[in-house]
A = this chain, B = another copy of it.
Amino acid sequence: MTYCLGIITQEGLVMAADSRTNAGVDNVSTYKKLFDFSLPGDRVVVVCTSGNLSLTQSVISHLEQDLKNQASITLHSLTSMYDLAHYVGQTLRKIHQEHAEWLRKDNVDFSGNLLLGGQIRDEGPQLFLIYNQGNFIHATVETPFLQIGETKYGKPILDRTVSFNTPLNSAAKCALLSLDSTMKSNISVGPPINMVMYRKDSFEIRHRLRLPAGDPYLAKVGQEWAASLRKAFDQMPDLEWEYTN
């Protein structure tokens, strides 16, 4: 399993991903799921992946090869985030066309979703969720976050604390706590955690974080959040029962 999320605010963009991949509980590995394709000064482009590893790795490899081969259409040549989302979706479809039939024969789940976030000159920061079918949606002022993978455990905290007006630092904190909640409830989501925070119009990612398993800061965040939550819980009044006798 996987959990990745992106948050877009008036100040910029946060993206975060775990690194645990499993093919059954007896086959657990670590793979990075957050990829930085930025061209500092010109554009910021970050991709997060969830789903079948051979599918998502192939997509990332295709994106990299197109850049290396200086293809006519690449993450650096297109001039809008919308076009980038379309190109990543088309790349995903290409991999499906090549492999999906073979995997269907053995009922292998060959599906994946991607997040694409960033900013290109003359546009504001944008965040897209690209579906397994290659179509996509983008985050908006009303719904400023998008998630892929194991999305439910980490959603309540986002629902309660994040809006488009949230300060960027708080959005980043919330992303980490959302990941922390998910890791606590689903063992197939795990460290290292990779995060980036991007400040609008800087066209360069200046804040990165990689928190490996056992990292003291990650442990501290988890403990402090547990303690804060516990305190908040204790301060809530007891229920007002309707006594029946």
Of residues 148 through 168 on chain A, the ones whose CB sits less than 8 Å from some CB of chain B are 152-157, 159-161
Given contacts A206-B244, A207-B243, A244-B206, contact A169 B238 (CB under 8 A): yes
Given contacts A173-B239, A176-B239, A239-B209, contact A161 B221 (CB under 8 A): no
Distance between Cα atoms of A242 and B14 in the complex (Å): 15
- If over half of A's interface residues share one DSSP class (helix, strand or loop), that class is named, otherwise mixed; here it is helix
Whether the pair B239, A172 counts as a contact (CB closer than 8 A) is yes
Whether the pair A160, B229 counts as a contact (CB closer than 8 A) is yes
Whether the pair A224, B236 counts as a contact (CB closer than 8 A) is yes
Whether the pair A233, B173 counts as a contact (CB closer than 8 A) is yes
Any B CB within 8 A of the CB of A214 = no
11 example contacts (A-B, Cβ-Cβ < 8 A) are as follows: A156-B157, A156-B181, A156-B184, A169-B238, A169-B239, A172-B238, A206-B245, A207-B241, A208-B244, A217-B240, A228-B232
Instruction: List 11 additional A-B contacts (Cβ < 8 Å) besides A157-B229, A170-B238, A229-B229.
Output: A156-B185, A160-B226, A161-B233, A173-B238, A177-B236, A206-B244, A207-B243, A208-B241, A210-B242, A228-B233, A232-B232
Which residues of A are in contact with B by a Cβ distance under 8 Å? Answer: 152-157, 159-161, 169-170, 172-174, 176-177, 181, 184-185, 195, 197, 204-210, 217, 221, 224-226, 228-245
The 3 closest A-B pairs by CB, nearest first: A152-B152, A228-B232, A207-B241
